[in-house]
Amino acid sequence: MEQWRIGSAFCRTKLEFRFFVTFELAADKLSLMIGALRIGWVSVWLTMCIAPAFAQQTQEQAFQRLAEYVVSQFYGLQESLVPTPSAGPGCDYSAPGRTHAIVMGAADAGTMKPRMLGGSENSAALVEATLTHIGVAPDRISTLTGQQATRDGLTKALTTLRQNVNCTDTVFLYLTAVMTSTRLLTQQLYGSDEPRDWIEEGADTNATLRAISAASPFILFNITDDRPNDLLSAQALTDIVTDLRNRSAHVTLVLDTAFAGLFDLQERQARRDPRALWSASLSETLPQIMLNSGAGAFSLHYTADAFSYAAQWQLPKGAPDARVYSVFAYKLAAALYADEAPTTASIAREIKKLRFGERTAEYENHQIESTDPGAPIFAELGVVFPAPPEPAPEQPPLTDVIRILSPTPSRSAAPLDTPVLEIKGQVVWPEQTMIVLVDRAQALSRPDGTFSHEIELEPGLNSIEIVALTRDNQQHRKVLEFTFEGDAQALTGTGQRYAILIANQNYGASSGMPSLTTPFADIDAIGEELTGRFGFRTEADLPDGGLLPLVLRDASRSEIETLLFRMSQIAGEKDTVLIYYGGHGIYEQMTDTAFWVPSDAVAGVPPTYLSASSISEALLRLQAGNVLVVSDSCYSGALMRAAPTDGPGADEDRLRALQRLADKRSRVLITSGANEPVADQGGDGHSVFARAFLNGLRQSERDVFSARELFDRDILPFVVGRSGQEPQYRPIARSGHEGGDVVFVAQGG
């Protein structure tokens, strides 16, 4: 039955618009092969099952013939674009980081259906223009469209990139093309109504089909004269990423195609990690390049998950000369334009905020992952963005591309007494306006560049961003500021404020640590001040109606990690979380790592401590908009290393400056000392640091202040004046910090 089932897939009799049958005369026997021939408008599947050679062929022979034909018709099924692993030009850590980019937009699907992919070249051009705008050097961007979006074109671009990338560099890859799979290849060979994936089924017994199945799915290059169906497999794409990561470069890959999640590149990369070598060796069927110990980070942007199509749209909508763009390419460009220091995490949040209505919502199942979501996507951080291109000579200079017609522009944040505001304006630029976003939502716009959009303001300072895309793929930006009920109380926002208070005072003999005397008293007093004066909560509401206590005494490592994880499931983007830890801390010089010491720690066994990396991971999971970690422990200054940041400037309007800090995402650490021991007492029943922290919270003449102001005015001078400690204030590296701060607002202040 199995032999006949395989044979029947090759032998059918029916009428349709094409047929696949050729004859080969070999050893005086007539055998059937899969081929292609067209006759007028009508084609025929020929039944030759009575041919002796075919009727008697085994299942293995049938699959071998299928394998041979698939390989002859579809190029690149197994071929890698990285022929040999290479260490690259060497590593120079003193060299400034640079970004290298490959942007490929392939539109032609060869003989596959659909035949063409509209918008790929426009999307690639938009991404290229955005990369140039944010500071990537044009000579380090390879844009492959048309005759360049081929296997040879990508190979050439990769060869140049591999010769020049340094260990301090980042690599940005954007690929948009038609996606195909073994099932679609089977249907292309047998007919669109073929219900079974014969390539996948043949993988059980045929080595070639097994290798093709393991390498799938695929994206299609543009056709060439000798290659009508040229493919890039998921495995070959993984080889590219692995090779670049092995040069210690941070690689960001954007795969803009339907069903992109099927490529499963995150899992393929995990199987290249030597720590997973044992399990990978059981499943992989082809030779593979492994990740080395110094591999760079990897970030992955799928325009669609494994079950979704990718959306495209025409801009301007309804225009006879409208252009087709990928929706995800436009979102990505808008997010990169708005973010001065993009990371995978910050770009994901920006993309999530963009709203285009129901017509594209069902296709916006984007998937974004990273081994290091806080790492910069582009090496050129802090660059001065170039000005928009000069207009054509016959045009007058344009000093204000986006002109606001209503409300009347103001140099300061205009105060408003109504929460609803209609913004009207016009884009004045030589090229046609394609789309206008107001506050990340699509505005009603017209061919002459005029636009209008109604927004609802929130209490406090509202920064409204307007972004316009013109036909030359340039983005133009303007930011308006308005205050609504802009008093100090508006700084509290609409979210919850949570205080997680952890005090480890009593340590067992196995920890090797002496017990402390003040942590319990410290968190009692600090908790009373935070809840009574500043509206923080020391318990959180659970979905089942219960309460989650946020105060831990003599906590184990498991208890601390569990509480932080549960808070990641509760705190939202508008919420603030303050984490206070009082207890022992230690520093391991060999690994340059600082730890909190839980109550159940075992002396000399780092896995029983809570490391800085574990704390960073917990902060990455937290979705709260603002997080402040206060650590009163020895060596706490070594917990997170990053450059200090400035607070609100003295010359700015203070409330506006504080509102800007509160609106930006923040992950900030205040420590009781640098990489040094700190005192347990000396603060009238509290530690010196806890006393300084309490004094700052109790200053009645200041009802509104930032964590940075609290540190500068109260903590630093008090602690330095009464001890040998040097407290630290700094953003937490690679935890999602975006320049904000926690702002304390006294109730009724």
Question: What pLDDT digit, counting tens, does each position of 309-323 carry?
Answer: 888 888 888 888 889
For 585-638, how does the pLDDT look when each residue is reduced to its tens digit (9 = 90+)? 887 777 777 888 999 999 888 889 988 888 888 888 888 989 999 988 765 555
Residue 341: pLDDT over 70: yes
Whether the Cβ atoms of residue 265 and residue 255 lie closer than 8 Å to each other: yes
| pLDDT given for residue 45 in this prediction | 36
Span 233-255, mean pLDDT? 91
- Relative to beta strand 99-105, strand 141-145 is parallel
Dist. CA 327–CA 308, nearest whole Å = 14
Bond prior to 407 in cis (omega within 30° of 0): yes
Share of the chain above pLDDT 90, in %: 25
Whether the Cβ atoms of residue 111 and residue 188 lie closer than 8 Å to each other: yes
Q: Which two three-digit tokens encode residue 395?
A: 């045009």
Dist. CA 113–CA 100, nearest whole Å = 33
For 416-435, how does the pLDDT look when each residue is reduced to its tens digit (9 = 90+)? 656 788 899 999 998 889 99
Dist. CA 623–CA 626, nearest whole Å = 9
Dist. CA 178–CA 269, nearest whole Å = 22
Residue 16: pLDDT over 80: no
For 102-153, how does the pLDDT look when each residue is reduced to its tens digit (9 = 90+)? 999 998 766 665 556 778 999 999 999 999 998 999 999 999 999 999 999 9
Cβ within 8 Å of residue 506, ≥6 positions away: 515, 516, 554, 599
Dist. CA 184–CA 303, nearest whole Å = 20
**Any idea which residue has 């410290």 for tokens?**
522
- DSSP string spanning 431-460? SPEEEEEETTEEPEE-TTSEEEEEEE--SE
Residue 39: pLDDT over 60: no
Residue 382: pLDDT over 50: no
Cβ within 8 Å of residue 447, ≥6 positions away: 316, 319, 432, 433
25-42 b/e with 16+ CB inside 10 Å = b? Answer: eeeeeebbbbeeeeeeee
**490: closest CA among 111, 247, 749?**
749
